[in-house]
Amino acid sequence: MGSIDYDTLAELYRGKPPEVRKAFDFQRRLKGCIIGERSFGELKKVAGADISILKSEKKLICGIIVFSYPDMTEIERVYSEVDENFPYIPGLLAFREGPAIIETYGKLSVKPDVLILDGQGTAHPRGVGIACHVGVLLDVPAMGIGKSRLYGSFEEPGTEKGAWTPLTSREGERIGAVLRTKDRTKPVFVSPGHRIDLESALEIALTCSRGLRIPEPTRLADTYVAELKKGRK
């Protein structure tokens, strides 16, 4: 693993007014730890994570569900409630949701081969979206599937399921892809997080999309945390 230490992270999260400059420094260091190649064998388990917010309690509810791949049969689901101590700032989403996801991941008795996160991986202004951030800190293969664009330019992909176009950074680098997961619906934004390449991420995203726009892992994790939230109200 790289040289990222939790003390720096914990210190950062404690900052009352968000210390954006320190977050940027952290992302710069984290970027050097990202492995952009596929480093896992046969894909047998995938997991999806999502967050919902308990505004009154100032807490985040995180849920993670592990599925067998490619049949998408649920294997395990866990959740946790964590204090909300960082605001939502575009480009710094991982500092808000990352701690909850990391804590919840630790509760899994079955670890997935790939973790799918709601949001971007390398398709980020500094190349370190939440999928990279969480993937590196947990040292687990991770990828991001976002419902909308954060960074990068692209051409609209074809309208048929499976069609995709590259997401390009300002410097001309291919940082992700815009993928049509369902015919004639808004495409999703796929990008590598850690220990995976774009081609593998695209294949996984498409295989997990069972006729719906949002791939099963994150889609079901979303309904899971929504139910947990409802039950707490």
Partner DNA sequence: GCGACAG
Partner DNA sequence: ATCTTGTCGC
| Chain positions contacting DNA, by CB under 7 A | 50-53, 55, 88, 90-94, 118-120, 124, 129-131, 144, 146-150, 222, 226, 229
Strands 164-168 and 114-118: unpaired
Q: Which is closer to DNA, CB of 91 or CB of 112?
A: 91
Closest CA to 34 of 106, 115, 131: 131
Q: Least separation, in Å, of the C-beta of 175 and DNA? A: 12
Q: Which is closer to DNA, CB of 133 or CB of 195?
A: 133
Q: Least separation, in Å, of the C-beta of 153 and DNA? A: 10
Can you tell me the distance from the alpha carbon of 179 to that of 202, in angstroms, rounded to the nearest whole number? 8
Q: Which is closer to DNA, CB of 78 or CB of 134?
A: 134
Closest CA to 60 of 34, 92, 99: 99
Q: Least separation, in Å, of the C-beta of 139 and DNA? A: 19
Q: Which is closer to DNA, CB of 78 or CB of 101?
A: 101
Q: Which is closer to DNA, CB of 52 or CB of 200?
A: 52
Can you tell me the distance from the alpha carbon of 228 to that of 135, in angstroms, rounded to the nearest whole number? 25
Q: Least separation, in Å, of the C-beta of 183 and DNA? A: 9
DSSP code at position 156: P
Q: Which is closer to DNA, CB of 46 or CB of 134?
A: 134
DSSP-derived 3-state class of residue 171: coil
What does 69-129 look like in DSSP terms, one character per residue?
TTT--EEEEEEEEEE--S---TT-HHHHHHHHHHHHHTT-SS--SEEEEES-SS-STTS--
Q: Least separation, in Å, of the C-beta of 41 and DNA? A: 27
Residue with tokens 């991941």: 105
Question: Packing angle between helix 130-138 and helix 20-31, nearest 10 degrees?
Answer: 60
Q: Give the sheet arrangement for strand 174-179, strand by strand.
A: 74-83, 59-68, 45-54, 114-118, 142-146, 188-194, 174-179, 164-168
Q: Least separation, in Å, of the C-beta of 92 and DNA? A: 5
